[in-house]
Every structure is written in structure tokens, then in C-alpha cells.
Chains A and B, each alone.
Chain A
Amino acid sequence: MKKIFAVVLTIACLFAFTACGSDAETLKIISLGEYMSYDVLEQFTEETGIEIKYEEAPTSEEIYTKYMSGGLDYDLICISDYMIEKLIAAGELAEINFDNVPNVANIKDIYMENSKDFDPENKYSIPYFWGTLGIFYNTEMIDEPITKWADLWQEKYSGKIIMMSSMRDTFAAALAQLGYSINSTDEKELNEALQLLLAQKPLVMAYYVDEAVDEMLLGSAAISMMYSGQAYYTMSLADHDNFAFVVPEEGSNIWIDSYVITNRCDNKEAAEKFLNFINREDIATQLFEEVMYATANELVYDAIEDEELKLEEALFPQDASVDRCDVFKALDDTGMELYSKLWKQLKAE
């Protein structure tokens, strides 16, 4: 009898864990890291009475894993392009009713256009921030201008080079250098890229993402792969003129982080209210000023008075650079397996 009681209680507990909090007037949001202003969240609750449970994760992969494991029913997700493609393919997203989001008109057309690479009919996602992948370097330690990915392979910078610890990005640097598409899943091309990366590994100080900021500031590293907004953030913490950011001439990746509504969302109207809210000019301005990544909101961009800021490559990669860039396409299972195998091979050497 006691045993049965224990088992029943266990099951009850498990249900209690999964069934909690389906309150209609609450939105559960998961986003990429450091992408929100808590003031904005408070203001939203004040204006609409809708409570928000906001949480962050450092990479799109982790968000995807968290969401797909099914434990938590997020209503809104802010995540990168290729993961949106994956979520759409998995049938996990709900179509946004754009009639409820009139402020979507504030998004610059080109970003809606670029979004078609992963959301072909612009049905599921609204661009939030965007940027490129490039090379960030210390101009005091490196006196020649850096222009291409191959510069990360120069022996004179041995031990002072940081590559990305995310496999797509680091492989993109090798693939672009070889003249291949950064979305290649061709085994031969990827193997060539691996050989190139293996040859570079003895020169590499470390494979980092967030830590690259600290190591560049400390001067432990001289040259690092970096995302544009991250590069601007690093500059803002130090003497701006000591650093430069460049989108390599061989081409690179342009990424768009967008908001999507999941099909587990049981209050779509509230979710759309939120999307409309963050795209309102005053709110989008506040978000831009706090997050300091390239905003997709045209009104915010046009209202920037500091012309130099608009020309800052590390914040708003310029048109000429963006033209060289491609959006990452989602990998299918075979492609993912291949990348994973090669990545482990690189790390194990």
C-alpha cells in the first residue's frame, strides 16, 4: 500500500511539474543572451497587464535543445536565422498575423527580404537585430590592415589568434577562404576546410565565443573572429581606436536574429501585442540603445544623429561588406553529422 502511495505521489509530482502555469495572461520568452532591456519588459506589463517570464541562453543551439526537449512551453523565441529554418521545418512555429503587428512596417525592407532565405514567405519571423561575422583585431599589435580570412593563418600571429568555438562559424572562415560556399555540405570541400583548420590549429590560442572579448581587451590575443555587434561592444569597453573590425574580402556570414511565435503558444494575441510593442519606434530605440547591436528597425536607424555611428563597421556593417555575405542555411541530419564529425576531429588533434 505504501509503495502504491509513493508511486502515485511521484506521478502526481511529475504532472505538477509539467502542468504548471498555463495562465492566459503570461508570455514565456526565451532569447539569445543580452538582447533585452528589463525596463522595456516592465513597461510592456504596465501598458498591457500581460506578465512576462523572460529567460536567456547563450546560443541558438541551446535554445533549440531546450525548446525541443519539451519541458517548457515558450510562447516567443528570439533565435538565429538557420535555427528558424529548422524550427519551421519541424513544424514548431505559428504563422504571425501581421494585421496585429502593424509596427512591422518599421522594419527595413532589406531585412525582410534577407529573411526569405530561412522564412521564404515572411510568415513566421520578425527581424530583431542583425550583424556579420568578421575579424576583430588590435591595431596596436598588428600594424598592417587585415583584409582577409587568410590573415588568421599568418604564422607571425601564432598564439595570438582566436577562432570561434561554434563549428559553423569557424568552418565558414575556412570554406570562404577556399572559395567554397559557407553552406557547403560537400564532403570533399569540408575535408579540405578541415585540413586548413588543422594546419592552423598550432597557431590558434583558443576557440572561444564570449571569452574572446576579455582576451582581446587584456591584449592576450591580437586577432579574433567575432560578430559585428560583439566587436562594437568590445571597442566600447576600451580605447576605440586601438581596435578594428573587418568583414573579410572572401565573403562571410550575415546573421539575422528574429522573433518567432511557437505553435505551443496558447495566447497568440498577447504574443503579437509583444511583437508590435518591441517594434514601436520609442521602444525599439530604447532596445537599440541598451543592446547596441545593429537594429533592423528603419525608424530607429534613420533617427540616429551620430553619422559616424552609422558608418561604424563593427556595429552596422556597410552595404559593400554585406554584399559579400550569405545567410547560413540549416543543415540536414547528414550535414550536421558530417560537421560534427569533422569538428571533433579538429578538436581532438
Chain B
Amino acid sequence: MNKPHLATPYVVWIIGFTVLPLLFVLYYGLTDASGNFTLANIAAIADPIHLKALWLSLLLAFIATTVCLIIAYPLAMIMRKLNLSKGSFIVMLLILPMWMNHLLKTLAWQLLLSNNGIFNTIFVALGMEPVQMLNTSGAIVLGMIYDFLPFMILPIFNALTRIDKDVIDAARDLGANSLTVFRRIILPLSMPGIISGITMVFVPSMTSFVISDILGGGKILLIGNVIEQEFNKTFNWHLGSGISIILMIFVIASMSLMSRRGDKEGGAALW
């Protein structure tokens, strides 16, 4: 069954849409407008504005990931307890939002959170003061959580359903209480799911520019917005690529950190 030519379409795909674009980014990032080698675009990350944007991106992504984990883990536990099959209705409900366009969902939040939006209308009807929710860091984090939560739940749920019930029963027979079972059996065995969930939420949150643009009202600058501006508004592809390289280093660093943790716990990341 060794037919390497069957892999040709994938090779073409990877070269055309992953390797070549990466090489372009590297080329642009390491050259100036006249094509000479320079490190200035990389060093530009030291600019206080860029550093601040990078820091804020990391912070918001960290908060969003933590909240996702706190929501997703108990939920996945409950789903496991309910003995849901992977095609069940509740699992479908969780996957369903992923079928919808990411942009559309974010725009919907804009309408919900707006000054005269649906939430504030309800608040006012209940006799409360309207709250400024849109165009804050909180709104951006909310958008990230909403958009990426399924990517946290599903890998954890997958990992949890793979745990053999006999292992848990055996632990109980040997006198372990619920806490010990969780700490010594369930948590370690679900670690690959947690790690893949964290990566799947943290990386897109950190690099997103659409969510911060729509829910931040253009008042909050994340590192993704800096890159978008350099490419789309000021045509400085060199600077945009330089900062993209920095961002890629952060993504690779966080992923390798995570996958190392994953290997130690046994089992490759799911998903």
C-alpha cells in the first residue's frame, strides 16, 4: 500500500499554500524597500507601540484561554457523565456555531453589546443604567471566548470519552475517593485534550485582528491589527512581515511548549 504519488496533491498544496507564503513572509520581513537585507523590520517590535500591542494580545489571549478552559472542562465532564455519543444532539449544538461564519457571529455580538443594543435595551427596561460594553477589552475577550469555546470543549470531551471506565472503577475498588480519581486518573488522561484545546484557543486569540476591530471599535490595538494596518493601509509589507515573523515565533514557542507537555503526559494531541 506504499503509494507515495497519492500524496502529490498534499505536497502541491503544502508547497503552494504553506511553504511558499512562508518564504515570502521571510523574504519581505528580512529586506527593506530596495531589497537589501535588514533586521530593522524584526527589531521594530521593540517600538513601545508594538510592544504594548503584543503584550495586550498575549494578555487578552491568556484571559480568553483561561476562561474557555474553566467553562469547557466541567462541561465536558458533564457531557461524559451523560454518556453522550459523538453524534448526539447536545454535541451537535456545540458544533453548530462552528458552521456559522466567524465574522457574522462577531458582528452579531456588536449588535448585542452596542449602546442601544439588545442587552442595554433589556437593562434599561429593567430600570438599570445602560452599560458601555462594546469597544472595550472585555468585549474583545468575550468575542474570543464565544468564537473559540468549541475548540476547547471538543478535544477535552474527546479525551474524556476515551478514558476506559474500567480504569476508574478499578481506582474506586482500591479505595480512591472522587477527588483522587479526578486528580490521579481523569485529569492526567485528559491532558492531551486540554493541551490541544489550549493551543486551539490561545493561538487564534493571539493573532486575531477581526475580533478586536469589530468589538474594539478600532480603539484597541492588538498585534494582529498592527500587521493588518501595515499590509492593507500603509503598504509596508516589509514591516508587516517582520512583525508577523515575531508573532510566528511566539506561536511556535507556545505550541512547542504545549506539545512537550503533551508528550510527557503520553499520547499526541487530539484533533
Pick the residue among A201, A208, A340 that contacts B233 (CB under 8 A): A340
A65 to B234 CA separation, bound complex (whole angstroms): 9
A324-349 interface code vs B (CB 8 A; 1 in, 0 out): 00000000010011011101110110
CB-based nearest B residue for A69: B237
Taking a contact as CB atoms closer than 8 A, the residue among B110, B221, B234 that contacts A339 in the complex is B234
Check B232 against A220 for contact (C-beta < 8 Å): no
Contact between B49 and A344 (Cβ–Cβ < 8 Å)? yes
Residues in chain A near residue B5, CB distance under 8 A: 2, 5-6
Closest to B231 in A: A65
Given the interface pairs A208-B218, A211-B110, the reply to whether A10 lies near B232 with Cβ below 8 Å is: no
Q: Does B134 contact A (CB under 8 A)?
A: yes
Name the B residues within 8 Å of A205 (CB-CB): 115, 135, 217
- A220 in contact with B219 (CB, 8 Å): no
**Closest B residue to A164 using CB positions:** B218
Digitize B3-14: 1 where CB-to-A-CB distance is under 8 Å, 0 elsewhere: 011011001100
Given contacts A6-B11, A220-B115, contact A206 B218 (CB under 8 A): yes
A205-B217, A348-B49 as given contacts; A9 in contact with B116, CB under 8 Å:
no
A132 to B53 alpha-carbon distance, docked (Å): 33
Contact yes or no, A206 B134, CB < 8 A: yes
Interface centre among B49, B50, B229, B233 (most CB of A within 10 A): B233
Are B8 and A207 in touch, CB under 8 angstroms? no
Q: What's the nearest-Cβ distance from chain B to residue A113, in Å?
A: 29
Contact A347 B116 (CB under 8 A): no
B163 contacts chain A at the CB level, 8 A cutoff: no
**CB-contact partner of B235 in A5, A59, A65, under 8 A:** A65
A20 at the interface (CB under 8 A from B): no
Are A218 and B116 in contact, with the CB atoms below 8 A? Answer: yes
Known A-B contacts A6-B11, A347-B218; A221 and B236 likewise in contact (beta carbons under 8 Å): no
B218 touches A13 (CB 8 A): no
B16 / chain A contacts, CB cutoff of 8 Å: 10, 13-14
Q: List B contacts of A167 (CB < 8 A).
A: 233
Residues B235 and A336 in contact, CB atoms below 8 Å apart: yes
Q: How far is the CB of A11 from chain B (nearest CB, A)?
A: 9
Contacts of A65 in B (CB 8 A): 231-232, 235
Is B115 touching A61 in the complex (CB atoms < 8 A)? no
A311 located at the interface, meaning its Cβ lies under 8 Å from any Cβ of chain B in the complex: no
By the criterion CB–CB under 8 Å, are B116 and A220 in contact? Answer: yes
Residues on B with C-beta less than 8 A from A336 are 234-236
Check if B115 sits within 8 Å of A165, measured CB to CB. Answer: no
B229 near A343: Cβ-Cβ < 8 Å:
yes
A290-349 residues with Cβ-Cβ distance < 8 A to B are 333, 336-337, 339-341, 343-345, 347-348
Tell me whether B220 and A347 are in contact (CB under 8 A). Answer: yes
Which residues from chain A contact B230 at a C-beta distance below 8 Å?
A: 340
Q: Is the CB of B226 within 8 A of A344?
A: yes
Contacting residues, chain B, for A159 (C-beta < 8 A):
115, 132
Contacts of B7 in A (CB 8 A): 6
B96 at the interface (CB under 8 A from A): no
Known contacts A167-B233, A336-B235; is-contact A345 B49 (Cβ 8 Å): yes
Cβ of A204 < 8 Å from any Cβ of B? yes
CB distance from A37 to the nearest CB of B (A): 26
CB distance from B38 to the nearest CB of A (A): 15
Partner among B12, B116, B117, B221 whose Cβ is within 8 Å of the Cβ of A13: B12
Of the residues B11, B52, B116, B135, contact of A206 by C-beta under 8 Å: B135
Complex Cα distance, B5 from A112, in Å, reads 60
Interface flag for B15 (CB, 8 Å): yes
Query: For the complex, is B41 an interface residue (Cβ under 8 Å from A)?
Result: no
Interface centre among A6, A165, A337 (most CB of B within 10 A): A6
Q: Is the beta-carbon distance between B233 and A10 smaller than 8 angstroms?
A: no
**B115 pairs with A221, CB closer than 8 A:** yes
Q: Taking A205-B115, A343-B229 as contacts, is the C-beta distance between A348 and B235 under 8 angstroms?
A: no
Nearest-CB residue, chain B, relative to A62: B232
A208 touches B8 (CB 8 A): no
Per-residue 0/1 for B105-131: is the Cβ within 8 Å of any A Cβ (1 yes, 0 no)? 000001100111100000000000000
**257-277 of chain A: CB within 8 A of chain B:** none
Whether B33 and A333, one on each chain, are in contact in the complex, defined by CB atoms closer than 8 angstroms, is yes
Contacts of A160 in B (CB 8 A): 115
Q: A5-B5, A14-B16 are in contact. List 6 more A-B contacts (CB 8 A).
A: A6-B8, A159-B115, A160-B115, A206-B218, A219-B116, A348-B52
Binding site for A on B (CB under 8 A): 4-5, 7-8, 11-12, 15-16, 33, 49-50, 52-53, 110-111, 114-117, 132, 134-135, 217-221, 225-226, 229-236
Q: Provide 14 A-B residue pairs closer than 8 Å at the C-beta atoms, listed in order of the A residue.
A: A2-B4, A2-B5, A2-B8, A6-B7, A64-B235, A159-B132, A205-B135, A207-B219, A220-B115, A220-B117, A343-B229, A344-B49, A347-B220, A347-B225
* 4 closest A-B pairs by CB: A206-B217, A207-B218, A220-B115, A347-B221
